[in-house]
Amino acid sequence: MDRKSELLLRVYVVFFAFALFAAVIMCKVVKITLVEGDKWRELGGRNVKWVDVKGERGNIYDQHGNLLATSLPYFDIYVDLVTSPDRLFDENINALSRKLSQVSSKSAAAWKSELVNGRKKGKKYYPLFRNATKDKRDLLKTFPIFNKGKHKGGLQWEEKRTREKPYKLLASRTIGLDRENASKIGLERTYDAILEGEKQKRLLRRFPGGDWLPVFDPGETNQKKGGDVVTTLDMHIQDIVHHELLEACEAYAAQGGTAVVMEVETGAIKAMANLKRLKSGNYNEEYNYAVGRLSEPGSTFKLISSLAMIEDKKLDITKQIALNKGKKKFYNHWMRDSERHNLEIATFKHAFEISSNVGMANAAYSLYGRSRSQWVEFYEALNNLGVMEPTGIEIAGELKPYFKNPSNKKVEPNKKWSGTTVPWMAHGYELEMTPLQILNVYNAVANDGRMMKPYLTKELIFSDGTSKKIAPRVLKQKIASEEAIKKAQEMLEGVAERGTAKRLKVTNTSFAGKTGTTRLNYWGGNDKKEYNASFAGYFPADNPKYSVMVVIYKPEGAYYGSTVAGPVFQDIVQRVSGLGNRNLPEFVEGRKVVKAHSGYNADYKKLLEFVGLDYSDESKGNWVHMKPDSDVVTIEKRTIKKTVVPDVKGMGLRDAVYV
């Protein structure tokens, strides 16, 4: 064989070998892609995945800028023990171990042993801390080795966020919850689209131990933070309302309760407390009674039925009506006044002041109770006041008021209009309204007949920096004539001066209002009697600024509205009226006196910045002592020796236990 033929043979052999190799590879590709594709995709999917990651959620504030809900970052922190050069690791491992021992319960020796062994085993994602704060993460970034950056020092983390409420239970249900696996509630739900941060896709990889970590550094992304919501709530008023309501619920072992304070002129909600008794006997904000609980209002409805009669039939409140000594039968059903008296007759105004059920029923029955056409007139008179529709408050869950309709004959038997409907409806039965809906009528009377829409939002601040202020909205310019409103105001003032609320006393201001005592099972025969106690009103009586509604559900031991709910109203009025024009930042500004405290440096700096106090940092360590002066707080270094039992005076419980 000549040389040329030999060379060609070699070329053919090499070509054939490459072709065979390529064919084998192609067969493998086809097999993996088509035959075994599902299998390998499933295996790959077990170890990598794309997830939606939300940007930082926006904040919710009260009207003064106090933080009500915010998202705090927490970090799962890891270290790549392989990435650091040998010299960097060997020269700094002792210093790093000492630093880590200062921020944990492990000794320096234990840390060194773990890190060295992890490096020998090639651990690329060795867990250091779970749920660490941002301050701790930032502190770790300054430690030896870690301060060389991710690629040389190996420190890395996964950021998580948790929703926190600095005021804890105060207005908690109204502010709401941002829940991943359940429906959001409250303002968190209403403004979810504004509060929610920008979504981005992030690729995660699963490492030994089951942890899913970002393939790319989360710090490389630039997600937009969500917008903010500024509410009408005033946390100073909210604090008063919450604790006065809580005290009454605990005193009477009530099933729960609600209290609301509304600004008369605008309808802005300044406080909304809702408490429910748990099995433990403690109370928590678990349900928004003010917005979402329909119930028969009882005597607080007498304002509405009286206003309807005055407006529609020109009822003279000085006219004498029969009280029948507080007891009368209507269609084989006895009606009784809650508080006994021996009055046969009285003026309508006095009957209202002493909350006579019989007097209200007699007046309504004489005007509307004798024919179906009169029943329709009564229904329309009530409807003309604007009380049969929801208020439209912006949080979800408000129910429409329930009123029997004499024109609607195709309903269940217990919802049909009957001969007892007019007299019982006149004093707040055979109908249902929420506490907020009742309050809105009292607010309208205080506002000279103008009915406002209750609202909780003062301003929306969008993620692009623009904002929108929320203006008050009028639901009904006049719910009744000026004359009718004046008579209603006169009667409410009479309740406070001479009627069922005369025992309630408030200094330096006046109020007007109406007590309510609702029997829940009034057709119940021998069943245990259960009641709701309530009070609705406004203050000052001559120039109303706020309206207030208090309801205590199923109190034990006492049940009259004047005894159970009235004192809550009284104390709210007394304390809120004492605030004057002072708002919370001004209140804090005038009281910058801080007791001496000791604790963790970063925590106290954050606290001082949060409350707006000036401080001078003269410390150079993790543990400090705060020394208050007249205008500034000095932060001094405090030495904690591990060989000596430390003095924990002035420390918080967490710091004291730690040291």
Q: pLDDT digits over 53-75, tens only?
A: 677 899 999 999 999 999 988 99
pLDDT at 590: 41
Kindly state the tokens that stand for 506: 């408030």
CB 328 within 8 A of CB 345: no
Lowest-confidence segment of 43-52, 138-147, 211-220 by average pLDDT: 211-220
Sequence-ordered list of residues with C-beta below 8 angstroms from that of 515, at least 6 positions apart, any chain: 299, 300, 355, 495, 499, 500, 501, 534, 535, 560, 561, 562, 565, 566
Pairing of strands 633-637, 615-617: parallel
Q: Alpha-carbon dihedral of residues 192, 195, 199, 204, nearest 10 degrees?
A: -100
Residue type, 654: R
- Chain-centroid distance of CA 574 in Å reads 25
Sign of CA dihedral 343, 346, 352, 356: positive
Per DSSP, the three-state class of 387 is coil
Instruction: State residue 228's pLDDT score.
Output: 96
Q: Is 442 helix (H, G, I), strand (E, B) or coil?
A: helix
Q: Please state, as a whole number, how many other Cβ atoms lie within 10 Å of the Cβ of residue 503.
A: 10
pLDDT for 212 equals 65
The CA R_g of the chain, rounded to the nearest whole Å, is 35
Q: Where are the beta strands (DSSP E) in 554-648?
A: 597-600, 615-617, 623-628, 633-637
Spatial CA neighbour of 122 closest among 194, 181, 245, 207: 207
User: Higher pLDDT residue, 400 or 50?
Assistant: 400
Could you give the CA distance from residue 647 to residue 637 in angstroms, rounded to a whole number?
A: 14
78-112 CB burial, b ≥16 within 10 A, e <16: bbbbebbeeebbeebbeebbbbbbebeeeebeebb
Type of residue at 277: R
pLDDT greater than 60 at residue 584: no
pLDDT band at 588 (very low <50, low <70, confident <90, very high): very low
- Give the whole-angstrom CA distance, residue 72 versus residue 613: 22
Q: How far apart are CA 587 and CA 572, in angstroms?
A: 18
Model confidence at 592: pLDDT above 50:
no
Tell whether the model's pLDDT for residue 586 goes beyond 50: no
The amino acid sitting at 595 is: K
Mean pLDDT to the nearest integer, 4-19? 72
10 Å CB burial of residue 449 (0-12, 13-18, 19+) is buried
Closest C-alpha to 450, from 386, 528, 362:
386
Least confident range from 34-43, 152-161, 331-340, 485-494: namely: 34-43
Query: Phi and psi dihedrals of 625, rounded to 5?
Result: -125, 130
Mean pLDDT across 215-235:
80
Q: What is the pLDDT of residue 501?
A: 96
Name 435's Cβ contacts closer than 8 Å, sequence gap at least 6. Answer: 258, 260, 289, 290, 293, 534, 549, 551
Quote the pLDDT of residue 116: 93
pLDDT at 101 over 90: yes
Q: Which strand (E) or helix (H) includes residue 18?
A: helix 3-30
pLDDT (0 to 100) of residue 223:
75
> Average pLDDT of 322-345?
90
Per-residue pLDDT at 148 exceeds 60: yes
CB 229 within 8 A of CB 61: yes
Whether pLDDT at 646 is above 80: no
Mean pLDDT, the chain, rounded, equals 86
pLDDT of residue 634 exceeding 50, the answer is: yes
Percent of the chain with pLDDT over 90: 64
> 123-139 burial by CB neighbour count: b if 16+ within 10 A, else e?
bbbbebbeebbeebbeb
| Mean pLDDT in residue range 305-325 | 95
Reported confidence tier of residue 618, pLDDT bands at 50, 70, 90 = low
Given a cut of 60, is residue 659 above it in pLDDT?
A: no
| DSSP E strand stretches across 540-582 | 546-553
pLDDT band at 587 (very low <50, low <70, confident <90, very high): very low
What is the pLDDT, as a whole number, of residue 211?
63
Rounded-to-integer distance, Cα 643 and Cα 659, Å = 11
> In this predicted structure, what is the pLDDT of residue 410?
81
Average pLDDT over residues 366-377: 94
pLDDT higher than threshold 90 for residue 219: no
Task: Quickly state the pLDDT bin for 453 (edges 50, 70, 90).
Answer: very high
Q: Which tens digits make up the pLDDT trace of 390-448?
A: 999 999 999 999 999 999 888 888 888 999 999 999 999 999 999 999 999 999 999 99
User: Residue 400 in contact with residue 390, Cβ under 8 Å?
Assistant: yes
Q: H or E stretch including 262?
A: strand 256-263
> Residue 17: its pLDDT value, please?
76
> What are the structure tokens assigned to 311, written together?
């407006």
The reported pTM is 0.79
Q: What is the pLDDT of residue 641?
A: 55
**Residue 469 clears pLDDT 60, i.e. is over it:** yes
pLDDT, residue 62, reads 96
One-letter amino acid identity for 597? H
Query: Is residue 311 predicted with pLDDT exceeding 90?
Result: yes
In the block, tokens 């922190």 appear at: 77
**Mean pLDDT across 305-314:** 95
